[in-house]
Amino acid sequence: MSRDEMPTEGTDPTRSTGPAAPPRPIRPLGTAVSLLFGLVIVTDLVAIGVALHRRGLIQGIVRGDSVSVDEAVLSDRLYDLTGTGQSLARVAVGVVWLIWFYRAHRNVASYGAQQRFTPGWAIGAWFVPILNLVRPKAITDDIARGSDPAVPFEDWHVTRLRAPGVITLWWFLWIIDQFVSWFLLTRLDDASLESQPDNLVMQIVGAAVDIAAAVSAIFVVRLITSRQQARSRLWLDHGVLSAGGFRSAGSVVPEPSEEASEDPTLPR
């Protein structure tokens, strides 16, 4: 970064003072994230059913009941298959979530809103130990605040606004989900037959918590996505399009022409 590009004292490096790029469409990504969270819920429900059946089977073996080899092999295969399905669903939703989250953060910057963290933190904050317990929540709060269509375009201090309560609920469930997952990994060391029923109960509890976290995440995605759709429409109506390109919404610029308002590249 050159000397001219360095932010001066008292300025916010997360707020652009020059022409701002237009907000990008967020709905397709929001829909994809919601559907993938739905897939996570489905795989968790299947895993709960398989775990309940497997627990009954193992308890029967411990009691000395007769269990056929075919039934035991089928239980093992279903158990492994559902575990793989859960892992793949979580990886898929994690990747698309990061893309959606990053775009939502950049869109808020396009509205001219002042945020506490740069766009890079929208991705990096999830991977820094300890910090990932608090910073992603703060970034999500800023995104939701800056996307609120009810906020006047002249007010960019998004930290002064109240964050939606559903974000706090989602984050609380997500933290619990992570700790339950960690606890389950520590239990895998005890693979004795007698311990398996209790381990399966914990896995059922973990899947239930994961479902609750996924449901709350869907509400967060839908909230932010719908807010940004409405905010983007107002952003255009506010007169942010000029002949030379896009500017921050607080700028005094000519009203967009009819041809510009029909540009298919602009968010709807």
Residue 66 to residues 51, 107, 108, 153, 196, Cα–Cα distance (Å): 19, 62, 62, 71, 18
Per-residue model confidence as pLDDT tens digits over 48-88? 999 999 999 988 888 888 888 888 899 999 999 999 999 99
Indicate the pLDDT class of residue 209, thresholds 50, 70 and 90. Answer: very high
What is the per-residue pLDDT for 253? 35
Using CA atoms, how far residue 129 sits from 97, 105, 116, 139, 216, in Å, is: 19, 21, 20, 16, 23
The answer for residues whose C-beta is within 8 angstroms of residue 59's C-beta and 6 or more apart is 197
Contact 200, 54 (CB under 8 A): yes
For the stretch 100-120, pLDDT in tens is: 999 999 998 888 777 889 989
Closest CA to 136 of 174, 107, 84: 174
The pLDDT of residue 19 is: 43
For residue 83, the model assigns a pLDDT of 93
Domain residue limits, the chain: 23-237
Name the token pair of 46.
């299947």
Query: Is the alpha carbon torsion for 11, 158, 123, 136 positive or negative?
Result: positive
Q: Are 23 and 116 in contact (CB under 8 A)?
A: no
Copy the structure tokens of residue 265.
């590249």
Residue 263 has pLDDT above 90, yes or no: no
Closest CA to 157 of 139, 140, 144, 145: 145
Distances (CA, A) of 98 to 23, 43, 72: 17, 21, 40
Residues 205 and 180 sit within 8 Å (Cβ to Cβ): yes
**Token duo for residue 49:** 């059913």
Give the pLDDT score at 190: 62
Distance CA 19, CA 193 (A): 65
**d(C-alpha 176, C-alpha 135), whole Å:** 16
List phi, psi (to 5°) of 104.
-60, -40
pLDDT band at 239; cut points 50, 70, 90: low
| Total-model pTM | 0.79
Least Cα distance to 106 among 153, 139, 151, 149 occurs for 139
DSSP codes, 197-220: HHHHHHHHHHHHHHHHHHHHHHHH
Long-range contacts of 165-168 (CB under 8 A, 24+ apart): 166/216, 166/219, 166/220, 166/223, 167/137, 167/140, 167/141, 167/220, 168/137
Q: Categorize the per-residue pLDDT at 45 as very low, low, confident or very high, splitting at 50, 70 and 90.
A: very high
pLDDT for 241 equals: 43
Mean pLDDT of all residues in 238-246: 44
